[in-house]
Structure 1
Amino acid sequence: MYRRQLMMLAGSLPLMSTAYAQPTRRSRPGDPSWPSAAQWQELNAQVGGQLVQVTPPLDACRAAPASAECTAFFKGLKNPWLIGDNVALTQTSGWVDAWTSTPSAYAVAARNAADVAAAVNFARTHRLRLAVKGGGHSYQGTSNAPDSLLVWTRAMNRIELHDAFVGQGCSDRPQPAVSLGAGVVWLQAYDAVSKAGRYVQGGGCTTVGVAGLIQSGGFGTFSKRYGLAAAGLIEAEVVTADGTVRIANACTNPDLFWALKGGGGGSFGIVTRLTLRTRELPEFFGAMFVNVAAKSDAAYRDLIERFVTFYREKLFNPQWGEQVTFRRDNVLGVAMVFQGLDGDAANAVWKPFFDWLAARPNDFALQAPPFIAALPARHFWDAAFLKANAPDFVLNDDRPGAPSGNVFWRSNIGEAGWFIQGYESVWMPGPLIEPANQPRLVDALFAASRLWRVTLHFNKGLAGAPAEEVAAARDTATNPAAADAFALAISASEGPPAFPGIPGHEPDIALAKRNAKSINAAMDELRKLVPNHGSYVSESNYFEPDWRGAFWGANYARLRQVKDKYDPDGLFFVHHGVGSEDFSPDGFTRLK
Structure 2
Amino acid sequence: MKRRDCLKASLALPLLPLVLKAAAAAPLAGPRVRPGTAGWPDRADWTRLSQAVGGRLSVPQSPFLGDAATRAEALAQIHNPFYIGDQPGLTQTSGYFGAWRSVPSAQMVAATSSADVAAAVSFARTHRLRLVVKGGGHSYHGTSCAPDSLLVWTRAMNQVQLHDAFVPQGARAGTVAQPAVSVGAGAMWIDAYNAVTTHGGRYVQGGGCTSVGVTGLVTGGGFGSFSKAFGSAAASLLEAEVVTADGRVRVVNADNDPDLFWALKGGCAASFGIVTRMTLKTHALPDTFGGLSFKVQASTEEQWRALAAQVLRFYRDRLCNAHWGEQITFAGDRTLSISMVFQGLSREAAAATWQPLLDWITENPGYTVREPLQALAMPARDFWDADFFRQHAPAIIAEDTRANAPAHHMLWKGDQGQVGWFLHGYASAWMPSALLGEDQVVAAATALCAAAVHMDVGLHCNKGLFGAPADAIAASADTATHPALLDAFALALIGTAGGPVYPGCGGRVDDPGARRGALRVRRAYDALSVLVPKAPTYVSECDYFQADWQQAFWGPHYPRLLATKQRYDPDGLFVIHHGVGSETWSADGFAPRSG
Give the TM interval when normalised to the shorter protein. Answer: over 0.9
Deviations 1:232-261 (A, max 9, x none): 000000000000000110000001000000
Partner of 1:564: 566
Matched, 1:400 2:403: yes
1:337 pairs, out of 332, 338, 341, with: 341
Provide the C-alpha distance between the structure 2 equivalents of 1:275 and 1:421, rounded to a whole number of angstroms.
36
| Distance in structure 1 (CA, Å) of the matches to 2:534 and 2:545 | 16
Report the 3-state secondary structure (helix = DSSP H, G, I; strand = E; otherwise coil) of the residue aligned with 2:547.
coil
Distance 2:568 2:269 in 1: 14
Match of residue 534 from structure 1: 536
Counterpart code for 1:46: A
Q: How does 1:6-25 map to 2 (within 5 A)?
A: 24-25=30-31
State which of 250, 264, 274 in structure 2 corresponds to 1:246. Answer: 250
Structure 1 pair 433–23 and aligned structure 2 pair: CA distance change class (3 A): closer
Choose which of 383, 386, 396 in structure 1 pairs with 2:386: 383
CA contact (8 A) 1:499 1:507 kept: no
Letter in 1 for 2:324: W
CA RMSD in angstroms, aligned pairs only: 1.6
1:378-527 pair list within 5 angstroms: 378-499=381-502, 504-527=506-529
Deviations 1:378-406 (A, max 9, x none): 11011111211121110011122322221
Asked if structure 2 preserves the Cα contact closer than 8 Å seen for 1:220 and 1:229, the reply is yes
Aligned partner of 1:53 in structure 2 is: 59
Contact 2:61–2:88 (Cα < 8 Å) also in 1: no
Structure 2 unaligned segments of length 5 or more: list them: 1-25
Cα displacement (A) at 1:363: 1.4
Q: Is 1:132 aligned to 2:140, yes or no? A: no
Counterpart Cα distance in 1 of 2:114 and 2:583? 29
Q: Which has the higher contact order (CA 8 A, sep 6+)?
A: 2
Matches within 5 A, 1:137-536: 137-170=138-171, 171=173, 172-194=175-197, 195-360=199-364, 362-499=365-502, 504-536=506-538
What does residue 581 of structure 1 align with? Answer: 583
CA–CA distance in 2 between the matches of 1:218 and 1:42?
38
Distance 1:540 1:79 in 2: 24
Aligned residue for 1:81?
Answer: 82
Give the C-alpha shift of residue 56 in structure 1.
3.7
What is residue 95 of structure 1 aligned with on the other side? 96
The one-letter code of the counterpart of 2:196 is: V
Distance 1:118 1:287, change over 3 A: same
Of 397-406 and 539-548, more deviation after overlay is shown by 397-406
- Which one-letter code corresponds to 2:57 in the other structure? L
3-state SS of 1:243 partner: coil
Unaligned runs of 5+ in 1: 1-18, 62-66
Take 2:305 and 2:70, find their aligned partners in 1: how far apart are those partners? 49
Judging changes above 3 Å, is the alpha-carbon distance between structure 1 residues 36 and 432 closer, same or farther for their aligned structure 2 residues? same
Q: 2:41 aligns with which of 35, 46, 49?
A: 35
SS for the counterpart of 1:370 is: strand
Aligned residue pairs total 566
**Residues 1:247 and 1:305: Cα distance change in structure 2 (over 3 Å):** same
- Distance (whole Å) between structure 2 residues aligned to residue 570 and residue 23 of structure 1: 7
For 2:564, the aligned partner's letter is V
Q: Cα offset for 1:520?
A: 0.9
| CA apart distance, 1:499 | 4.3
SS at match of 2:368: strand
1:213 counterpart letter in structure 2: L
Q: Which residue of structure 2 aligns with residue 118 of structure 1?
A: 119
- Please tell me whether the aligned partners of residues 215 and 263 of structure 1 are also in contact (alpha carbons under 8 angstroms): yes
Q: Which TM-score applies when normalising by structure 1? A: 0.93
Contact 2:219 2:234 (C-alpha < 8 Å) held by counterparts:
yes
Q: Aligned equivalents of 1:334 and 1:475: distance in 2? A: 32
CA shift at 1:28, angstroms?
Answer: 0.6
| Structure of larger gyration radius | 1
User: For 1:280-307, what per-residue CA distance to the aligned partner results, in whole angstroms no more than 9, with x for missing partners?
Assistant: 1000001011111222222222211211
**In the TM superposition, what is the alpha-carbon distance from 1:369 to its structure 2 partner?**
2.3
- Runs of 4 or more above 6 Å deviation: none
Q: Is the 8 A contact 1:287 1:374 kept in 2?
A: yes
Relative distance call for 1:243 and 1:69 in structure 2 (3 A) is closer
Q: Deviations over 1:534-574 (max 9, x none)?
A: 01000010001211110100111110000000000000010
Rate the CA distance shift 1:42–1:379 in 2: closer, same or farther, 3 A: same
TM-score by length of 2: 0.93
| C-alpha distance in 1 between matches for 2:381 and 2:507 | 42
Q: Which moved more, 1:373-382 or 1:302-311?
A: 302-311
For 1:295 and 1:148, locate their aligned partners in 2 and report how far apart those are by CA, in whole Å: 54
How far off its partner does 1:110 sit? 0.6
Tell me the CA shift for residue 368 of structure 1: 2.3
Write the letter of the residue equivalent to 1:551. F
Displacement of 1:503? 8.9
The C-alpha deviation readout for 1:403-462, integer Å capped at 9, x for no partner, is: 222111101011000000000000101111122211111111111111211110010001
Contact 1:425 1:539 in 2 (8 A): yes
Structure 1 residue 105: deviation in Å?
A: 1.0
Partner amino acid, structure 1, of 2:86: D
One-letter amino acid of the structure 2 residue matched with residue 316 of structure 1: C
Contact 1:74–1:497, Cα closer than 8 Å, also in 2: no
Further displaced range: 407-416 or 189-198:
189-198
Q: Which amino acid aligns with 1:164?
A: A
In structure 2, C-alpha distance between the alignment counterparts of 1:211 and 1:241, rounded to whole Å: 18
Look up the match of 1:13.
none
